[in-house]
Amino acid sequence: GENVEQHPSTLSVQEGDSAVIKCTYSDSASNYFPWYKQELGKGPQLIIDIRSNVGEKKDQRIAVTLNKTAKHFSLHITETQPEDSAVYFCASPGGGADGLTFGKGTHLIIQP
Amino acid sequence: DSGVTQTPKHLITATGQRVTLRCSPRSGDLSVYWYQQSLDQGLQFLIQYYNGEERAKGNILERFSAQQFPDLHSELNLSSLELGDSALYFCASSVGDSGRAGQFFGPGTRLTVL
């Protein structure tokens, strides 16, 4: 089955700076890569996703890049704000069924 | 608010007992997924239903079962509960039979087994 590795486990950045979270996946047949944000006491919230036919996707301050050759994808958050503090998860369904395999999560801390 | 609802929010029970968790998907979504989140295992996929039929199984224990009803709500049944079953249980839904168009998560049910 699919295996997803996520780094770093904790990331602390100054407000206004950029944050980058990286993930690698194992199943070369995987073609869909979502990112989720989870705040304390809430369910994961889908913030952006990318399919394997594109290399980059942007939505305001958030972008995701995909390198299918190297089997890794990254989340980029620019101009970070206090409300960006949360745990972020990358995921991939692999090439088979659609249940998502998640990374272990990155705790993003925005320092004022 | 994702539009996915889950009840109850919290559940406290004893070892050996059986519980039922309920999920209502977003309006129009036909697929329901169940996930378990724990500190040691992280977020794990348990099972998917599409329009009443089981579509895919993940790391679901034999003591656990699920079903999706004609009105598309789903229930996850956990039996012979053990201390290690204490976790957050999330339901997610998506439009079609593919979760690759976006899976939207509910607020979860926190299960505590004493």
Residue type, A14: Q
Residue B107 contacts A where some CB pair is shorter than 8 Å: yes
Other CB atoms within 10 Å distance of the CB of residue A29: 10
pLDDT band for position A60 (50/70/90)?
A: very high
Report the distance separating Cα A53 and Cα A44, nearest Å: 25
Pairing type for strands A86-92 and A106-111 reads antiparallel
Q: Which residues of chain B have pLDDT under 50?
A: none
Q: Shortest CA distance to B92 belongs to which of B28, B25, B40?
A: B25
What's the pLDDT at B100? 78
Q: A32 to chain B: which residues are within 8 Å by CB?
A: 99-100
What's the pLDDT at B78? 98
What pLDDT, in 10s, does the model give residues B55-73? 999 989 999 999 999 999 9
User: CB–CB of B89/B111 below 8 Å?
Assistant: yes
For the residues A15-26, what does the mean pLDDT come to? 97
Q: A43 to chain B: which residues are within 8 Å by CB?
A: 2, 4, 90, 105-108
- Of A37-41, A51-55, A71-75, B62-66, minimum mean pLDDT range: A51-55
Tokens of A100: 């998502």
Number of A to B CB contacts under 8 A, please give it.
68
Mean pLDDT, all residues of chain A: 95
Q: Chain A residue closest to B57 (CA)?
A: A99
Q: Mark yes or no for CB contact B45/A104 under 8 Å.
A: no
